[in-house]
Amino acid sequence: MSSDILFVSNGSGKAIFLTGRDVLVKSFCSLSDTCSSRDSCRSCSLINAAKNHLTGTKSESNVKELDGELSAGIGEYKIGRNVLLKGMGLGSCIGVILSDVSTGICGIAHVLLPGASEKGETKYAETAIEKMFEDMVKMGARKSRITAKFAGGAQVFKHMNLDMLKIGDRNAISVEETLVKKNIPILAKDVGGDVGRNVIFNPADGSMIVKYTTKGDVLWL
C-alpha cells in the first residue's frame, strides 16, 4: 500500500493532500473558504498537480512529499524532519510549534498547564518548550534559526469567571513568556476565544493550519 503526504502550491493557493493507494483521501486547502466545494473539490489546479504526481503522468515541480506525520497527545511533544505535525482537540491546551525551515526539523508540544515542572513533566509549558528545543538542536536544528508558532488556549467553560480557572489564558501567557525568555521569534499565534482547535504544521513552507472544531473555520498562519 502506497501512502504519501503531498504539499502543493502555486500562484493561486496551497494545499496538503493525504493519500492512500495513490488516491487523494483528505485535503487541507488554503482556498477552502472561497471554494464552493470547500475541502471536497474534485478538480482544480492544486488537485490536478497532486494527481499527476501520484500517477507519474507529469512531473510537477510545485509538489513536495513529506516523510510521514506525527501527532502529540496531551502532555507530549514530538519532533521530526520533514514531517507533518498535528495537535488535535486543543481546548484550553496550547499547540506549540518550533521549526527550523532550513533543516526541515520541527516539533510540536501539546501543552496542558502553565509554568514549569520540577519533575520534568512535559505537560507544563516551560518544561515542554525547553525540552523540545534541546532535542531539536541535538537532531541538527540551528538555535538561531528556530522560530515558533502556537494556537489554542480557549476558554471552553464559559461559566468559569475566576482568573485562576482561566487555564487557557494562563497557558497562552506562559507559552509566550517562555518563548520570549529563550529568544525564540514568534511568527504567528491564534489564542483565546471559546472554541476548540486542531493544529497542523507543514514543514515544507512553515505554515500552521488552525481548524476550529465547531465553526469549521480554517486559518493558514
Q: Are the C-beta atoms of residues 6 and 66 closer than 8 Å to each other?
A: yes
Q: Tell me, what's the pLDDT at 55?
A: 84
Tell me what pLDDT residue 26 has: 82
What are 129's three cell numbers? 518548550
Evaluated on CA atoms 121, 186, 207, 189, the torsion sign reads positive
Torsional sign, CA 189, 180, 73, 20: positive
Residue type (1 letter), 78 = K
- List 35, 41, 44, 93, catalytic entry: 93
Segments in the chain forming alpha helices (H) = 45-55, 125-139, 167-181
DSSP 144: G
Packing angle of the helix pair 125-139, 167-181 (nearest 10 deg) = 40
- Listed in sequence order, the residues at least 6 apart from 207 whose beta carbon sits closer than 8 Å to its beta carbon are 14, 201, 220, 221
First to last CA, the chain: 33
Look at residue 1 in the predicted model and tell me its pLDDT.
36
pLDDT tens by residue, the chain, 221 residues: 356 899 999 888 899 999 887 788 888 888 877 665 555 566 788 888 888 888 887 777 789 999 999 999 999 999 999 999 999 999 999 999 999 999 999 999 999 999 999 999 999 999 999 999 999 999 999 999 999 999 999 987 666 565 656 899 999 999 999 999 999 999 999 999 999 999 999 999 999 999 998 877 889 99
93 is catalytic: yes
